[in-house]
Structure 1
Amino acid sequence: MTTSTDTVRTAVWASVFGGAGVLHFAVRPFYDTLVPEQLPGEAKYWTWGSGVLEFALAAAIANPGTRKKAARPAAAFLLGVLPGNVKMALDWQKDDRKSPALKAGGWARVALQFPMIASVLRVGQADHH
């Protein structure tokens, strides 16, 4: 049986991935800075590719027929972008233009990745399809 918590979780994750997908295209230069230099090719292609993946995850989570199957790929995606979040936090520590609150926020974002992964893994668990 689907509960209101499950409905909210589904709506939140579909919105998070969909919104992030939009942002990867709308403010691509910001996301380009998160791409680790060790990855081959131009950062913009990683940004665009991750944006497209986020659109796909949003759609899969929003669709009751694919929701449960989307949970693990969504968690893997969040784990996969963790190095970019660590890079952002490290870069912000070296940037004198960033406030102490923003610098702390960068590390909070890294720490929050783990409860986010746990949450997205619960997407679709209550669905009976």
Structure 2
Amino acid sequence: MSISRGTQVLAGLFAVSGAVHLVKPEVYEPLMPSWVPAHREVILGSGVAELACAAGLVVPQTRRVAGLASAALLVGVYPGNVKMAMDVRRSRRTGLKVAAFARLPLQWPMIRAALNAARGD
């Protein structure tokens, strides 16, 4: 079974993002909503989850489960991404605002790619 371009891109994004979560978690700390407890632990845990999803997406035998897990992960963090974008609206840090708001529309094609991977597309 070959891997679709969308699945490749999603696996790549998860691999890079997951690695950054683990190697430089401080990058994500300003993006964390204040209501999320244990920021560092959540960042590290989400990095591990992203790496697991990335690995699962590239292996045909685990692609279905990894696709579903990837979609669940993306849906699960979406409310936090919305909250994060709302929190940074008044920030003077343009880069932080761009990152926070850019994540919102990018989640939807990523969720679609994850579901397509789960279906074997």
Residue in 2 aligned with 1:78?
74
TM-score w.r.t. the length of structure 1 is 0.79
How far has the Cα of 1:19 moved from its partner? Answer: 0.7
CA distance, structure 2, for counterparts of residue 115 and residue 59 of structure 1 = 19
CA distance, structure 1, for counterparts of residue 42 and residue 36 of structure 2 = 9
Give the root-mean-square deviation of aligned CA atoms.
2.2
The answer to whether the 8 Å contact 2:68/2:115 transfers is yes
Residue in 2 aligned with 1:28?
25
The answer to whether the 8 Å contact 2:10/2:110 transfers is no
CA distance, structure 2, for counterparts of residue 113 and residue 63 of structure 1 = 23
CA distance, structure 1, for counterparts of residue 107 and residue 32 of structure 2 = 17
How far has the Cα of 1:76 moved from its partner? Answer: 0.6
Residue deviations 1:34-54, cap 9 Å, x none?
3332233x2000000000011
Residue in 2 aligned with 1:98?
94
* 1:35 partner letter: M
Question: Which of 3, 7, 10 pairs up with 2:7?
Answer: 10
Q: Which has the higher Rg, Structure 1 or Structure 2?
A: 1
Gaps of 5+ in 1: none
Residue in 1 aligned with 2:60?
64
Residue in 2 aligned with 1:107?
101
Identity of aligned residues (%): 40
CA distance, structure 1, for counterparts of residue 86 and residue 24 of structure 2 = 20
Gaps of 5+ in 2: none
CA shift in 2, pair 1:49/1:65, >3 Å? same
